[in-house]
Amino acid sequence: MSKLILTRHGQSTWNAENRFTGWVDVDLSEQGKKEAKKSGKLISELNIKIDISYTSYLKRAIETLTIILKTLNLSMKFNTAWELNERHYGSLTGLNKEETKKKIGEEQFKKYRRSWDVSPPLMAKDSNYLENFSPLNSGIPENKIPLTESLKNTYERVIPFYDIEINKNLKNGKNILISAHGNSLRALCKYLFKISDTKINELEIPTGNPLIIEFDNQLKIQKYYYLDDSRAKDIIFNQ
C-alpha cells in the first residue's frame, strides 16, 4: 500500500494581504513558516518513510517542503516541476480580492476564482509582475508559459505530469510527498476523487494541513484524511 501526502504551502505574504498571487514568487509569511513546521510534525507522527518528494517552481512551496523535510530530519533531494505551479491568474495578479469583488461584482468574481473553465483576462506581456516570477521559469518551454489560466488549464498540465511521473512511483509502492498550491492540488484532487466540473468549485484546500491518500496495489483509493482535524475541509468524492 502506498501513500500520497498532499500539502498546500503555508500562508504566503500575499495570502496574508488577500491578493491574487498566481505565478508571482512571494515568500512565506511567519505564520506560513509555522504552518509548514506543524505540517512536518503532523507527518512525523505517521511514522512512515517518505520515499520521494515533489514541489513547484515557486519558493513558497519549495520553502514549505524544505521546512517539512527538515522537521522530519530528511536530507533527501526533492524534485521541482513547473507543472505543479499555482494557477496563473492573468490580469488579476496582484489585485486585492475584496476590492476586485466590489469592482466586478460577486458573480463574475466567483466565475474567475472558482469556476472550472473561465479564465481571467490575459496578463499584459509587459506587466511588471513578470519580473517577480520564479527564475526557475526560464526552464519552461516558451510555448507552455500562459498569460492566464482557468482551473481546467491548470488540470491539463498537472494531470499529465501526475500520470507520467508520480503514478509510476505509487505503483512501485513508494510513499510520496507533494508540496504545491491551492489550485494545482484542487486539479489533482479533481482527478483522484473524480469530482465533476460543477462540484469542483466547492473544494477548498487549507494551507499547511497535510491530506493523506492511501492506495491499494491497484491504486484504488482506500482511505483519505487530513492530519489536522480542526482545520480539515470536506473532500467531495465521485460527484
| Cβ contact 195:203 at 8 Å | yes
Maximum separation of any 2 CA atoms in the chain, in Å? 51
Alpha helices in 92-135 (DSSP H): 97-104, 106-114
Cell numbers found for residue 88? 496563473
Q: What CA–CA distances, in Å, run from 75 to 52, 55, 179?
A: 11, 15, 16
CA 100, distance to chain mean position in Å, is 23
Residue burial 165-192, b: 16+ Cβ < 10 Å; e: rest = ebeebbeeebbbbbbbbbbbbbbbbbeb
Reply yes or no on whether 181 is catalytic: no
Cell numbers found for residue 37? 513546521
Candidate list 63, 83, 86, 149, residue with the active-site label: 86
* Residue 52 three-state SS: strand
Candidate list 9, 83, 88, 149, residue with the active-site label: 9
User: Closest Cα partner for 15 from 210, 150, 206?
Assistant: 206
Reply yes or no on whether 86 is catalytic: yes
* Residue 209 three-state SS: coil
So which residues are the catalytic ones? 9, 86
